[in-house]
Structure 1
């Protein structure tokens, strides 16, 4: 490459960066100018052909077409599988506070799911019965009363209700509240590992790069309580085979739990109405004060 061509390329970057100089919002100006610098640096590094660049544009176009307002957000899936979601999570939770670790939100959350009673069963499809219970506490150990735990997981076929229209509305989803001692209890089924959707551009990307699409078994939580920061996290089955190769890089050791076998006549089985053997997982969440 001639010196003149290189200088022209660098001058183009400077020109585009300067075009945002009058952006009134300082943070937006910083974001846009940094984005231009990094994108131009990437292009100069890899020197894509025009055909390759058009393939990238079509990939992003197809990603947008796979998104909807209800249950499918392919751009979140793309962010997850590139590790960007977890990097953003890490940057926003850099300082140890004693609160429960966060992880990715995921693309299949649905607002407005049913309010459920303490210990209510949220599973309307087959699976191994399970009780997930524990407490929600402030980082100083104080019980958090009336915290809302918005919970969701896949069925045994590896799909979420809403994503899988054959499942009943609200299956394996619900909003639970803590009692006066900060306790919560959820009757459900043991979660299973499952592949993220591969019928769109993210799936094509994973296939082309030799990566598997599997996530380890987990239960999603979004926990809200007055005077506390919202917690978005998972609980992972500590025996899952994909813990060390999660397709979205979301596993943290502190979020692993054991699903222990219990007989129907176990004290918890009698208390929560299990008719046969079940699994028990116990976990205490800690919330940061806002």
Structure 2
């Protein structure tokens, strides 16, 4: 299983794109954090680092290797990749532990807002010769309070058959395999796309050095990304996975949950799958 491509993105290129996107969308979100909260979190993180050093008798050689690696992460712009792969899944668990509706998981570094609107039933933008197995996905968006949610938004994005994302890899049209759908009066939708491929996160930069040094693998299982939203309800961010993928059990990003694994069925031209969402109302 490979995800190679003659125009495969570099870690530095993907990192720069992800960093620019984060700066434009999210850098002000934590601006109101009070000093006492910053003090608490910073001290506990540093205390955990200090305890690791003491417990494992970290040497100066190891300390300097870490220092060099942290500098490398910054210079290659890979902080979004590092944090989204190894940290975000825990933040997501904590942030959504109160929810009664559908499970979510990490956003990852490749979301782009403003994808083209396709209505309640439509196809994601693709190239004329887009490779991959056709996939028709139907479902309904409801509230955990019961009613179907008309006009709910489903933002969908995913990798192509080479494991590459538009706007983060060269040579791919801007909105390829990215679209927004709006549910009908009964909260239903029908999406035509292709089944994505598993892929490796970029390994030619600092994150790849960590993976190699630790003896890990860089694979993510095939998945569809979604953001599902409706007025008066909490935003749901999720990834949907496919059964039988060898990396569902050891995803490098630790983002797979049993509730997020689809059950596709064969069709005359590809596959069909039914999967819906229940959104939690915003509670005051």
Query: TM-score band, normalised by the shorter chain?
Result: 0.7 to 0.9
Judge conservation of contact 1:229–1:288 (CA < 8 Å) in 2.
yes
Matches within 5 A, 1:1-290: 25-67=35-77, 74-82=78-86, 84-95=87-98, 97=100, 99-122=101-124, 123-124=126-127, 125-263=130-268, 277-290=269-282
With structure 2 as the length reference, what TM-score do the two structures score?
A: 0.81
Query: What residue ranges of structure 1 are gaps of 5+ in the alignment?
Result: 1-22, 68-73, 264-276
Question: Bigger CA drift: 169-178 or 44-53?
Answer: 44-53
Q: CA RMSD in A?
A: 1.8
Q: Which has the higher contact order (CA 8 A, sep 6+)?
A: 2
Q: Is the 8 A contact 2:221 2:246 kept in 1?
A: yes
**CA displacement 1:146-191 (0-9 Å, x = unmatched):** 1111111000001111122211110001111111111122111012
How many residue pairs were aligned? 247
Q: Secondary structure at the match of 1:257?
A: coil
Cα deviation, residue 210, structure 1: 1.7
Greater Cα offset, 237-246 or 280-289: 237-246
Q: Which runs of 5+ in 2 are unaligned?
A: 1-32
Distance in 2 separating the partners of 1:121 and 1:24: 45
Deviation at 1:96, TM superposition (A): 5.3
1:58 is paired with a residue of what secondary structure?
helix
Could you tell me how far 1:282 is from its partner in structure 2?
0.9
Larger radius of gyration: 1
Structure 1 33/208 Cα, relative in aligned 2: closer, same or farther at 3 Å?
A: closer
Gap change, CA 1:49 and 1:154, over 3 Å in 2:
same
